[in-house]
Amino acid sequence: MRAVTIREQEIVIEEHPDPIPGDGEVLVRVHAAGLNGGDMMQRRGLYPAPPGSPQDIPGMELAGEVQALGPRAERFKQGNRVMAIVGGGGQAELAVVNERQLMPVPSALDWPAAGGLPEVFITAHDALFTQAGLRPGERLLVHGGAGGVGTAAIQLARACGAYAVATVRREQAHDQVAALGAEVIPPEGFAEHGPFDVILELVGAPNLGENMNALAIGGRLCVIGVSAGVKGELNLLALMGKRARIHGSTLRARPLEEKALAARALEHEVLPLFEAGALQVPVAETFPLAQAAMAYERFAAGGKLGKLVLVL
């Protein structure tokens, strides 16, 4: 099979042996695979794949058709349309996935949308509802509302009856992000628009102090992105006075059982909304596998709205 391959921090296409599904696993013929910030970090040697996943083939999400079943894999059949988060190896013609991580692709979605859905929507759903306990009527602030996780979080908040505010630096993207269901504001002075019951931090440490000012009493700060910095100062008296909570999360390194639970939650609570047309996966651009290096450069350049997806 052909696969995107990392060689000395460069993106190339190489031939690899076809993977063979093991116990409870499914061989998927990949039709689309989204790019994510984790792929960019892995390319730079900063975010290795977890044990059991390919270290040289990136790709944390995929969508495709079931081609073969391993022993005791019985949840899906050959030819079924499926999608999943994976520890790595998603940007290849073939991938092996445990059937418990797989989800059916809603019939309303094409391959690029399906390939760009799992990572960002599972991340956003897990952070907002499983961890931060976002409730109808609460106010949510999303830092970095134009990215994949940001656009997913805005739509999920709207669907549950919460009020979403999103910081977006590029003025050209404000109207598009607002159309997803958010009040859009510039990053500077965001605390003036508070208080917020939940803040989803996708940017990093520079926002830490002002996040604390912006939180409501009993507010929750969920940190899932640190691209702008990892260290900052925190006023613990403000944290105590607001009875606030701060927690962080990553998805990739979780054990199979936790990933399976997150996938089942999305499958039951969110996928029906795609079938009903209430949610969408904003796809900024697609690239064929042969142009994977160009896709990575486009991601690094920034200024996109939604997902970049490799289409095989």
Among 214, 224, 202, 215, CA closest to 245: 215
Q: Please tell me what DSSP assigns to residue 77.
A: -
pLDDT digit string, tens, across residues 5-25: 999 999 999 999 999 999 999
| C-beta of residue 211 within 8 angstroms of C-beta of residue 228 | no
Residue 301 lies in a domain: yes
Mean pLDDT of 47-60: 94
pLDDT digit string, tens, across residues 167-199: 999 999 999 999 999 999 999 999 999 999 999
Domain termination site, one of 205, 227, 248: 248
Mean pLDDT of 47-56: 93
pLDDT digit string, tens, across residues 124-157: 999 999 999 999 999 999 999 999 999 999 999 9
Mean pLDDT of 195-209: 95
Band of the pLDDT at 309, cuts 50, 70, 90?
Answer: very high
Together in a domain, 172 and 291: no
Together in a domain, 100 and 134: no
Band of the pLDDT at 56, cuts 50, 70, 90?
Answer: very high
pLDDT at 125: 98
Together in a domain, 107 and 155: no
DSSP string, 144-172: STTSHHHHHHHHHHHHHT-EEEEE-S-GG
Measured CA to CA, the distance from residue 123 to residue 258 in angstroms comes to 12
Strands 81-85 and 283-288, bridge-based pairing: unpaired
Q: What percent of the chain has pLDDT above 90?
A: 94
pLDDT digit string, tens, across residues 103-114: 999 999 999 999
pLDDT at 147: 92
Together in a domain, 113 and 129: no
Whole-model pTM over 0.85: yes
pLDDT digit string, tens, across residues 57-69: 999 999 999 999 9
Band of the pLDDT at 294, cuts 50, 70, 90?
Answer: very high
Residue 286 lies in a domain: yes
Tokens of 96: 């092996």
More confident residue, 234 or 271: 271
Among 169, 146, 163, 76, CA closest to 305: 146
pLDDT at 227: 83
Residues 6+ apart with CB under 8 A from 255: none
pLDDT at 51: 92
| C-beta of residue 43 within 8 angstroms of C-beta of residue 58 | yes
CATH number of the domain residue 88 falls in:
3.90.180.10
Q: How many CB atoms lie within 10 A of CB 150?
A: 29
Together in a domain, 297 and 238: no
- Number of domains into which the chain is organized: 2
pLDDT, the chain, mean:
96
76 pLDDT more than 90: yes
Indicate the burial class of 301 (C-beta count within 10 angstroms; 0-12, 13-18, 19 or more).
exposed
Together in a domain, 109 and 128: no
Mean pLDDT of 292-307: 94
pLDDT at 39: 95
pLDDT digit string, tens, across residues 251-264: 998 999 999 999 99
Range of the domain at 295: 2-117+281-311
Band of the pLDDT at 303, cuts 50, 70, 90?
Answer: confident
Residue 70 lies in a domain: yes
